[in-house]
């Protein structure tokens, strides 16, 4: 497994719509292994393939591993589709590995039902709620080129984007000095 570089906003690559996967081949499984390794290293609880520069409809999630016991429970979603949501919203403070060190409260449907192919290419349907439902919807946004900051007002979003550009500049300066 290989740890990949995670693209960060405002990289235009993150704005594209990801393509469906034809079938879950060995290459796609290797991609998912690399994504998971990259996500654990980052560290985060979800990652979409586009975030490591592969515009395919593939997501990995593990909302369990950052609990106290640290037990890993990876989930793999290929070609995920949300087939239903509820009207009730829940609010979580969200962050994103492509929007480093920035957090904001985002409202999303508190439950969703998602259809997808699993690691072995089998079709699955999952009913998710709570943090998992939010995480699935956050990752699925990535497949449409949407970041959590796109759910904020333009004013709030612009403040965050300016901070990101500033921190990118200062980190590249550090690299030159080193």
- Please, are residues 104 and 149 in contact by the beta-carbon 8 Å criterion? yes
- Please, are residues 63 and 47 in contact by the beta-carbon 8 Å criterion? no
HSE-CB for 120 with a 13 A CA cutoff: 2
Per DSSP, what are the bridge partners of residue 56? 19
Among residues 96 and 112, whose Cβ is nearest to Ni ion?
96
Q: How far is the CB of 173 from Ni ion (least distance, A)?
A: 26
Among residues 14 and 117, whose Cβ is nearest to Ni ion?
14
Contacts with Ni ion: how many residues (CB under 5 A)?
Answer: 1
Among residues 79 and 137, whose Cβ is nearest to Ni ion?
137
The two structure tokens encoding residue 54: 């592969």
Q: Catalytic one among 93, 123, 129, 139? A: 139
HSE-CB for 36 with a 13 A CA cutoff: 19
Per DSSP, what are the bridge partners of residue 89? 109
Residue whose beta carbon is closest to Ni ion: 96
With b for 16 or more beta-carbon neighbours within 10 A and e for fewer, the 26-43 pattern comes to eebeebbbbbbbbbbeee
Q: How far is the CB of 122 from Ni ion (least distance, A)?
A: 26
52 binds Ni ion (CB under 5 A): no
Q: What element of type H or E holds 163?
A: helix 154-177
136 binds Ni ion (CB under 5 A): no
The mark string for 76-115 relative to Ni ion (x by CB under 5 A, - otherwise) is: --------------------x-------------------
132 binds Ni ion (CB under 5 A): no
Catalytic status, residue 139: yes
Among residues 7 and 64, whose Cβ is nearest to Ni ion?
7
Q: How far is the CB of 51 from Ni ion (least distance, A)?
A: 7
Catalytic residue IDs: 139
Task: Give the binding site for Ni ion (CB under 5 A).
Answer: 96
């Amino acid at each position: 497994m290989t740890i990949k570089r995670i693209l960060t906003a405002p990289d235009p690559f993150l704005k594209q719509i990801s393509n469906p996967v034809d079938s879950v081949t060995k290459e796609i499984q290797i991609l998912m292994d690399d994504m998971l390794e990259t996500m654990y290293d980052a560290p985060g609880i979800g990652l979409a393939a586009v975030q490591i520069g592969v515009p395919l409809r593939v997501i990995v999630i593990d909302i369990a591993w950052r609990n106290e016991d640290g037990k890993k429970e990876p989930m793999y979603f290929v070609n995920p589709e949300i087939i239903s949501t509820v009207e009730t919203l829940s609010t979580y403070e969200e962050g994103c590995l492509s929007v480093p060190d920035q957090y904001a409260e985002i409202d999303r449907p508190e439950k969703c039902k998602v259809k997808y192919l699993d690691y072995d290419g089998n079709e699955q349907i999952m009913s998710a709620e709570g943090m998992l439902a939010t995480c699935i919807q956050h990752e699925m946004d990535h497949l449409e080129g949407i970041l959590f900051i796109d759910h904020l007002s333009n004013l709030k979003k612009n403040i965050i984007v300016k901070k990101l550009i500033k921190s990118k500049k200062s980190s590249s300066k550090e690299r030159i000095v080193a």
